[in-house]
Structure 1
């Protein structure tokens, strides 16, 4: 599965000159844990960092004296980990592990920001795949049980589809 299939396209940005209070309010209002920090330059608005809810709590609130009117740009991480939309989920996990981050900025084929992928997104996608595998197994078991119910010997009680079939075999347990 490609990153493009599960990344979030609703990127919330904040100007680097905004305050930490404004950043916290934006995170609350948009229900996000990270903001992309932007800076204006000759080419227009550019991504110049990120700030997370953890940054606000751990770094900003722990400062003495408390400076909630400090600029977001002063707290922003500028060493960004990017991943291409065409990358696989495995590559995203490897990038997160290698950089020690929970979120990656996703770029399109022209290296422009197109989304964000988080550890939560990856876990959700993997859970969906595992759920699909479980449904395959359950479907096979149901087909097997239904087939056994219809091929019983004459005179034997017929079992209901989906009902467990009692074993007449001897079970042995080997411990190795």
Structure 2
């Protein structure tokens, strides 16, 4: 059983709720990401409280409040209804919940809710590709083995 902790990306770009939207956009550009996990510091631990995506910035900030973007904070445009996954959670359970909530990305937390990583639906492609590659190699070896077993042998 594959878990979310095994598949999540442990390098997470974060932002705090009171940071300016313009700074979040720059961070996305600098880190080449389309999503930042919004975190609060709770006793020295980073706990996810939301997500802000490039789409949130365009639709939530530019399209609805174009004149006041300099004053907007991340908390004004972030997705506050947060779907999270636990590290030990089976992949299929998390994918089912993601589908039910219509989300493509989830922060991954430990047992006490501290941010450990992020998982995006795109990440599953890498996992599936690895398994398909192994299957293709197995089929190739099976063909080679069958060919060797059925080919006539030269007399000794």
The 2-side partners of 1:39 and 1:84 are apart by: 18
Pairing 1:54–2:52 present:
no
Higher relative contact order (CA 8 A, sep 6+): 2
Aligned residue pairs, count: 152
Q: 1:146 to 1:58 in 2, by over 3 A?
A: farther
Q: Distance in 2 between matches of 1:39 and 1:122?
A: 28
Question: Normalization by structure 2: what TM-score?
Answer: 0.86
Unpaired segments of 5 or more residues in structure 2?
A: none
What residue number does 2:94 align with? 92
The 5 A counterparts of 1:9-158 are: 9-39=10-40, 43=43, 46-69=47-70, 70-149=72-151, 151=152
Contact 2:35 2:54 (C-alpha < 8 Å) held by counterparts: yes
CA distance in 2, matches of 1:62, 1:26: 20
In structure 2, relative to structure 1, the CA distance for the partners of 1:142 and 1:66 (3 Å cut) is farther
Secondary structure at the counterpart of residue 139 of structure 2: helix
Deviations for 1:25-82, whole angstroms, at most 9, x for unmatched residues?
10111111111113457x4564321101111122222124343221111111111111
Q: Distance in 1 between matches of 2:68 and 2:129?
A: 41
Q: Distance in 2 between matches of 1:54 and 1:68?
A: 15
Q: Tell me by how many angstroms 1:110 deviates.
A: 2.4
- Higher helix proportion, which one? 2
Secondary structure of 2:79's aligned partner: coil
CA contact (8 A) 2:109 2:116 kept: yes
- The DSSP-based 3-state class of the residue aligned with 1:117 is strand
Q: Please give the TM-score of this superposition, normalised by the length of structure 1.
A: 0.77
